[in-house]
Chain A
């Protein structure tokens, strides 16, 4: 399910998804149609632009929040010309994973984009590195994250980007075992309950600051 008001990008996205063997069931150009179509026949994943007609503000984002509230099983990947962590809270208010927020530029890195899409479809969380950078810069000193060491924060930030342990290990130039140890410490320090997807919960805790 695709919602994007620019015909050019809608076609581009559709052809990328087609190539990867995904089935683009519908593509629409505004938020109202998006909601109507999703309610009628829920897809696996919705990819939506933030800014769409009629208001050209954050209609896509609000539609995403509405879908999340009504049909939590649908994965939602939000694309934007421009990312800022302020928009993230709108998405995270109702969410328990299965959400992605990426700069449109990332679509061009086709392989990584498709990986992100898969993660969202499987209930994971993917946040654009740019947003993660903004969150890091915020240097919050209170909340549950205060207990984490800088290294653990780094690992958590990479988890938020949707990376798996192997990829985090590669990025930080450490062994995968070391990453697993950090991840375990993070789960312990954030007091995450067993049973839930702890990786997703940790990331959400991080993103909510």
Chain B
């Protein structure tokens, strides 16, 4: 209750002061700061509600980046709708709720106290209670026994109702609105997308680093070794150089395979279909590829590519399949890819399949991965993902 009184006191005082000063600039400046007072009231009231309500009231204010200065923060908070709402709440609390609940509380307290004291008062004096006049201690006691509990229950109920109404009002005015909840959701999604994007950039950086550095040096090494082979006469020395040459080539091949797993070049240059075909060609079993998709944003292409290559690797490793089929198409702005084999089935997500990480990655893009793999087979994987980022 004193919060309401304080709030209205502060508001009225400041408003009067600002009005008084409004002819000069400082008064207008003070008026513009009112939403901030609203934000402060909101903050305090939410804290107070947290003491009474089981799950409290969550903040409607947007999360601000840490990098902002105090001034930027204040100016953002000042423009937020939630601050204005909190200010309005402070006003309603001060003018309406607080006087009303103070009045009810006062009346209830008076009636209850008088009832409690009825036997004592009635002993000395006569006491008018509604239609009755009590003038002995016995009558007072009778009144207390008959009406005391009723009054007590009634006034408690009334105060409960007022407190409840106040809490609902606080929740409605101080809590986040639907669009603010949605904004929070969008922020969450965006930050996950940022994360996926950062991974993608980092992979590209690593690939570039390997390509420009290690790979070039190894190729240079094979060239030098090749030239050395030409000059050396047959013998142990030449045999060793030839061996070193083929070892350098093996290292290059390994490096190429590693790079393919990090950030495949074909995917970047030629898109999903070419890259998937390339993976398919590498498989020990025949893989049919039917993809009819255009170029998609890089994170989506990358996610789809890694899902297919991981799925195919699993088919080759575990499914005992004789053939496999990869199909992909775009349906209502969603990329759908299925991978089906004729193997033994029993596959599931999780348990070190390597697909678990990809599910997280898809999830951040708003996509899904489903596995249908009854024991005895066949296994069918279905991946779906929106074709645009941030959908």
By a beta-carbon cutoff of 8 Å, the part of chain A in contact with chain B is 6, 8-9, 12-13, 15-16, 19, 51, 56-58, 81-82, 84-87, 104-105, 107-111, 113, 134, 137-139
Closest to A57 in B: B269
**Contacting B277 at CB < 8 Å: which of A16, A86, A109, A111?**
A86
Q: Return B302 CB to nearest CB of chain A, in Å.
A: 16
| In the assembled complex, B220 has its CB within 8 A of some CB on chain A | yes
CB pair A13 B223 closer than 8 Å: yes
Judge whether B310 is part of the interface by a CB distance below 8 angstroms.
Answer: no
> Which A residue's beta carbon lies closest to that of B226?
A108
Query: Are A134 and B227 touching (Cβ within 8 A)?
Result: no
Q: Which 5 residue pairs are nearest across A and B when measured between Cβ atoms?
A: A108-B222, A86-B274, A108-B226, A137-B281, A12-B223
Tell me the number of A-to-B contacts counted with CB atoms below 8 Å.
84
- What total of chain B residues lie within 8 Å of the partner, measured CB to CB? 36
B278 interfacial contact with A, CB 8 Å: yes
Is A109 a contact partner of B217 (Cβ separation < 8 A)? no
Which residue in B249, B256, B281 is a CB contact (below 8 Å) of A82?
Answer: B256
The residue that A9 contacts in the complex, of B216, B229, B245, B268, with Cβ under 8 A, is: B216
Q: What's the nearest-Cβ distance from chain A to residue B246, in Å?
A: 10
Contacts of B225 in A (CB 8 A): 108
In Å, the complex CA distance between A113 and B286 comes to 32
Main secondary structure, interface of A, reads: helix
Q: List residues of B whose CB falls within 8 A of some A CB.
A: 208, 211-212, 215-217, 219-220, 222-227, 229-230, 245, 248-249, 252-253, 256, 259-260, 265-266, 268-270, 274-275, 277-278, 281-282, 286
List, in ascending order, chain B residues with CB within 8 A of A8's CB.
Answer: 216-217, 220
User: Are B278 and A86 interface neighbours, CB within 8 A?
Assistant: yes
Q: Is the CB of B226 within 8 A of A84?
A: no
B230 touches A105 (CB 8 A): no
| B30 smallest CB distance to A (angstroms) | 56
Docked-complex contact B223 and A87, CB < 8 angstroms? no
B277:A107 contact, CB within 8 angstroms: no
Residues of B within 8 A of A86 (CB): 266, 269-270, 274-275, 277-278
A15-B227, A134-B278 known; A81-B256 Cβ under 8 A? yes
